[in-house]
A and B are shown apart, each in its own frame.
Chain A
Amino acid sequence: MGFKEYVGKRVLQGIVTVMLAITLNFILFRIMPGDPTQAMVGDPRMDPETRIALIAKFGLDKPLLEQFVLYIYNLFSGELGVSFVEIGRPVVEIILGRKLVNTVILMGSSMFLAFALGIIVGVIAAWKHGTKVDVSSIVFSLVTYSMPVFWFGMLLLLVFSYYISVFPIAGTVTPGLAYANFLEYASDYLHHLIAPMITLAVSFFGGYFLFMRDTILDVFTEDYMLTARAKGLSDRKILFKHAMRNALLPMVSLMGVHLTFLLSGATMTETVFSWDGLGRLIYDSVRDADYPVLQGIFLMMAILVVTASLCADITCAYLDPRIKEAAE
């Protein structure tokens, strides 16, 4: 199988998964107890005109199959209904905006931090296999893995906001503050970002570290490692030029799969730190029973995850031809 065919096959698989997710989303919100129109218009806060317009648009008085067709049609024209809480505001406008940017910044920075630390510490632990350094980093990573993300966030806040005021207690920026220029805004934003970023990064470090360590240990048993030794290469060269490079590939594919967990962690972290992102929005929407927004976020996150794992897989296949052959 060539590279192009492999990419084609994976893209097709991704599309099928997204379609299944859309279907699941549709079904989930319609098997709810009570009125089947609940999910789109069943809220007393909504004004009657909008309600009638939405019922017509989504065919909510028609049979389910017809509703499904209309649902897909509306989805592709970017119409996801309106929020129950922020009365009349389209869901698409709420989801694709500042909140998405905030979440991407928080997730991206903490993922990078956890990934980098996981690789470095993983390589060192594998190299010192069986020593104190190795065992203590395993224990540390198992402890961080076992810690509830939100609780670690609360601890950070208790220590660094309540006892010693280093970090602000909540939010993305200081409310009501006027900024002279962009630089001031950015520094205020970064100041708010540090604590949630550390929280999320610590909770993900363990997974990356253990995986990296195991992969490096596996790489050590390969024949080319023996060759490298026999050639008389230095330890450092073997470790960083040969072992690490080959262990990075599985790490990249892990990253794609990991995104769904990262999203979960982000939801909790954003809730604790009142970070104005999509995760916090999920929490608010569940609390206020804002079903249209909930449907929208769920769909968006599914698409985000499928795209990310697709990109990770394609990158891996491009870098390592053996993966394409294994897929046959």
Chain B
Amino acid sequence: MTLDTQMTTRSLWRERVSSHTRRIKDFWTIYKGSRIGTVGVSLVLAFIIIALVAPWLAPYHPRALVGTPFLPPTEEHPLGTDQVGRDIYSELLWGTRVSLMVGLLASAFAVAIGTTIGLLSGYYRGPLDSILMRITDLFITLPVLPFMLILAALLGRNIWNIILVIAITGWTGTARMVRSQTLSIKERPYVEAARSIGARDSQIMIRHILPNVFPLVFANAIIGIVDSILAESGLSFLGLGDPTQPSWGMILHYANEAGALATGRWWFIIPPGICIMLVTIGFAFSSYSLDQILNPRLRRRRW
């Protein structure tokens, strides 16, 4: 490589980086202006920090039997103990990890499946498109929760199975959206140009179409996190959670089974629900304001 081409490559690269940072800066300026968005991002960050420092924050190990069962809140146990004498406060802190992990991974898997199917379907059309879209239709109409319950019951109670089950049922929206975007992007002149200089199909899909659908995919992924966290808590509540991983849904499952409602043990019921709600609100608010930014049509309208 001569010095000259090296220079060009470098300046091109610099240009690209600066255009990226400019875009991120613009984005951030708009984002900061939205109060819903700021609240959402702060909540999400707070829970990420809690998840990271849970081992130092929690006074006890989440699965250690540290007191008599059903203790009300005391100084030693700020939120009391559960039906076998574990510290609920410690379980809550550790539960943040499970919720975030399931939410992020399941949503990422679901979006990956959806994007792949959408791209292939929209790009190749023809019989492949028909088959993939029929499968998508099937998954859209399947009753989600019964399907999840059956899968989880058949596969076994394990956190990876739960992630898998949520991903399998959560990709359809992304697939449809990516497909319709691909259909329109594929007709644009620059894709035609790429094809005429001999770019392979995979190259066109990954380098030219994917970057254009990415913002929408990203917004979809965030709302997918909300759905995944809620799905995990629901599955755990119905008794299909991983027994080795303390999660918020599972605390509520035990509370329900142990009759915490009929005995008025609010400290067993209210805190886990509030945690689930705050995390999901964080992601839902972030997603909502992201949507406002990505759909400028909504931003400008004043009627």
Contacts and interface: CB of A to CB of B under 8 A. Distances in A.
B36 interface: yes
B138 A17 contact: yes
A228 interface: no
B118 interface: no
A260 B284 contact: no
Give the most central of A139, A148, A283, A309: most B CB within 10 Å. Answer: A148
Contact of A158 (B145, B151, B266, B276): B266
Given A221-B301, A271-B238, 19 more contacts: A16-B134, A17-B134, A21-B138, A21-B141, A129-B302, A145-B280, A145-B284, A146-B284, A148-B249, A151-B269, A162-B262, A163-B264, A257-B140, A260-B143, A263-B144, A264-B234, A267-B146, A287-B239, A305-B141
B51 interface: no
Give the most central of A130, A135, A149, A162: most B CB within 10 Å. Answer: A162
Nearest to A135: B36
B284 A220 contact: no
Contact of A138 (B36, B230, B277): B36
Contact of A150 (B134, B140, B237): B237
Contacts of B143: 260, 263-264, 298, 301-302, 304-305
Give the most central of B240, B266, B285, B303: most A CB within 10 Å. Answer: B303
A119 interface: no
B75 to A, nearest CB: 24
Interface of B: 36, 134-135, 137-138, 140-147, 149-151, 153-154, 226, 230, 233-234, 237-240, 249, 252, 255-256, 261-262, 264, 266, 269-270, 272-273, 276-277, 280-281, 283-285, 288, 298, 301-303
Interface in A279-328: 282-283, 286-287, 289, 294, 297-298, 301-302, 304-306, 309
Contact of A268 (B36, B234, B266): B234
Contacts of B238: 267-268, 271, 283, 286
B interface: dominant SS: helix
A101 B302 CA distance: 47
A125 interface: no
Given A154-B269, A221-B301, A309-B141, A263 B146 contact: yes
A151 B261 contact: no
Nearest to B266: A158
Contact of B142 (A150, A260, A283): A260
A158 B239 CA distance: 21
Nearest to A259: B143
Nearest to A18: B141
Contacts of A220: 301, 303
Contacts of B149: 267, 282-283, 286
Contact of B154 (A28, A130, A158, A283): A28
A17 B137 contact: yes
A260 B141 contact: yes
A157 B147 CA distance: 28
Nearest to A257: B140
Contact of A217 (B256, B264, B283, B298): B298
